[in-house]
A and B are shown apart, each in its own frame.
Chain A
Amino acid sequence: MFKLKCDDFLVYDELTGTYSMAADQKVRDEAEKNSWKSTGFTVLKDWRLYAMLIPMILVYFLWKYMPMYELTACFKDPSTGDTLHVNTFSWAGLRYFQVLFTDSDLSPDFWLAFRNTFITAFYGLLFGFPMPIILALFFNEVRSNLVRSVLQVCVYLPKFLSTVIVTSLTLILFRGTAGGLQGEGVVASVFKAFGADKNLVSSGLVFTTQYYRAIYIITDLWEHAGYDSIVFFAAVIAVSPTSYEAAQIDGAGKMAQMRYVVIPSILSTVVIMLIMKIGGLLSVGYEKIYLLLGNGTNSTSNYDVAQVISTLSNQWSETRASDGRALGTAAEMLNNLIGMILVLGANAVAKKASNVSLY
Chain B
Amino acid sequence: MKRKTEKSELIFRIVAYFVLIVFALLCVYPLLYALSASFSSVSAIDKGSVVIVPIEPQGDAFLAVITNNMFWTNYANTLFLTFLGTIWALGYSILGAYALSKKRLLGRKGFNFFLVFTMWFSAGIVPQYQNYLTTTEVFANLGIVDLKWTVVLAMGMNATNIILLRNSFEGVPSEIEEAARIDGATELQILTKVYIPMSKATIATVALFFGISRWNGYFWAYKVMRTQSFSWPVQVYIRDFIDTYTNISGKASGDDVAAYAATHPDYSAVSVVYSMVICAIIPILAIYPFIQKYFAKGVNMGGVKE
A residues contacting B by CB (< 8 A) are: 39, 42-43, 46, 48-50, 52-53, 55-57, 59-60, 62-68, 70-71, 73, 83-86, 134-135, 137-139, 141-142, 150-158, 160-165, 168-169, 171-173, 175, 178-179, 181-186, 188-189, 204, 207, 222, 225-227, 230-231, 234, 248, 251-255, 269, 272-273, 283, 286-287, 290-291, 294-295, 298, 301, 310, 313-314, 316-317, 325, 328-329, 332-333, 335-337, 339-340, 343-344, 356-359
Contact = CB atoms under 8 A, between A and B. Distances in A.
Contact of B99 (A53, A83, A204): A53
The residue in B5, B8, B9, B50 that gathers the most chain A C-beta atoms within 10 A of its C-beta is B5
Given A70-B127, A165-B216, A186-B51, 16 more contacts: A48-B186, A49-B187, A53-B96, A63-B128, A63-B131, A135-B23, A141-B16, A142-B16, A153-B292, A162-B218, A181-B48, A182-B46, A234-B296, A253-B4, A290-B219, A295-B251
A154 B133 CA distance: 41
B96 A56 contact: yes
Contact of B95 (A52, A84, A295, A313): A52
A86 B133 CA distance: 12
B277 interface: yes
Main secondary structure of the interface of B (DSSP, over half): helix
Contact of A234 (B104, B114, B273, B300): B300
A179 B154 CA distance: 40
Nearest to B212: A160
Interface in B210-242: 212, 215-219, 235-236, 238-239, 242
B281 interface: yes
Contact of B300 (A49, A231, A313): A231
Contacts of B96: 52-53, 55-57
Given A60-B115, A181-B46, A181-B48, A46 B104 contact: yes
Given A317-B129, A332-B123, A56 B48 contact: no
Contact of A272 (B95, B125, B288, B304): B304
A59 B92 contact: yes
B248 A62 contact: no
A335 B186 CA distance: 47
Q: How large is the interface on B (under 10, 10 to 19, 20 to 34, 35 or more residues)?
A: 35 or more
A181 B246 CA distance: 11
A287 B131 contact: no
Contacts of B15: 138
Closest 10 CB pairs of A and B: A183-B48, A56-B96, A332-B124, A162-B216, A70-B127, A67-B123, A179-B247, A154-B24, A138-B16, A253-B8
